[in-house]
Structure 1
């Protein structure tokens, strides 16, 4: 009977240290991992609350951006035409023609988009 009285607290201590019979080292690692994960989530949530949402682009800003693209495309078209007029190099002329074709199409799309606003 005395042995049972001594063994019972030792058994209870062993079981409580194992938290359900698992390896205490593994349990400590799981606990530490859970704490790190919780801290990381808290930090991320705090950063998201502190970071202001990006302001939506105003329609007038979109129109200004489209106008800038139109000016860039017009300049590229003028340069490509100049290269076609002045250059004899077939590779350079091919690149200029590709630029002229691509930018002419894109310029028409930009102007159509701008007109629809």
Structure 2
């Protein structure tokens, strides 16, 4: 029962980390400010996306699609950080397996998502 409860707790933490940034509210606010500053400093220019060398299927993607890809990569990186923390702090083998699985899956997804980004980024 303890293992199931631990797994449920980890899943809750990782879900919150993915949705809210998780952890310390100061760190979360800092992350949100950083994201807002990046967006303001580097808005996605449709002309840049049109001129970028990208896989043929990517040329049909909209600015919104590209923004989604960038946001998902950032979210997956945050999820990996949360899973790495769980991996290093938990002695429960089930939690460690779950954390490794999450790290592996999100790493593969980041690699795939990066192929969808325009070459100019």
User: Radius of gyration: which is bigger?
Assistant: 1
Higher relative contact order (CA 8 A, sep 6+): 2
TM-score under structure 2 length normalisation: 0.46
